[in-house]
Structure 1
Amino acid sequence: MLFSGKEVILYCRTAHRSYIAAQILIDAGWEGKLYNMVGGITAWKAAGLPTVKGFGFGS
């Protein structure tokens, strides 16, 4: 795997799809640490934490 052995934070809107993605990576033999952002970006924004628009994939 391209980034296997690295630490990766997975997130989506509500943390459901990122949880599924984490399970897929684990089942495929991921060797690094995986973090699923609880509550997703929705909870992140609700907590008043910073975001950046127009940066990265999908912008």
Structure 2
Amino acid sequence: MAERGGLLHPEVEDYTPNQAQDEVARGAVLIDVREQHEWDNGRMPCAQLIPMGQIPSRIDDLPRDRKIIFTCRTGNRSGTIKDYMIDEHGYTDVHNLLGGIVAWQLDGLPVVK
């Protein structure tokens, strides 16, 4: 997979938590790439879980006709997945949630268990 943190494609806009929430309200898909045990400890109510290691085998679960925002704990794994989707699968409308769920919580956005 690509370089850590999504550094290979700086031309692709990444989102702050509030921007990501707005994009989801407009129809974007939010994919959490953390592991199940991390998800179980708290998740964004609008997110779907596909752990990072499962992304290659679940490409068909990811839409090509909608914006996808990847998230994780701090934005490193999700940035790597963003680059992987661009480089290996030709996705163009994929983005990283800067700071992940940590930043989401710091911005006071909802988390459910």
Do the structures match in fold with TM over 0.5?
Answer: yes
One-letter identity of the residue aligned with 2:77: R
1:7 offset after TM fit, Å? 1.0
- Report the AA paired with residue 75 of structure 2: A
**C-alpha displacement of 1:6:** 2.1
The CA deviation at 1:34 is: 1.2
Query: Cα offset for 1:5?
Result: 3.1
Paired position in structure 2 for 1:18: 78
**Residue 91 (structure 2) pairs with residue 30 (structure 1):** yes
CA RMSD of aligned residues (A): 1.4
Taking every aligned residue pair, what percent have the same amino acid on both sides?
38
Q: Which runs of 5+ in 1 are unaligned?
A: 54-59
Which 5+ residue runs of structure 2 have no aligned equivalent?
1-58
Which range moves more in the overlay, 42-51 or 14-23?
Answer: 42-51
Please give the residue correspondences for 1:38-57 in structure 2 after superposition, counting only pairs within 5 Å: 38-53=98-113
Provide the residue aligned with 1:56 in structure 2: none
Q: Please list every run of at least 4 consecutive aligned residues from structure 1 whose deviation after the TM superposition is greater than 6 angstroms.
A: none
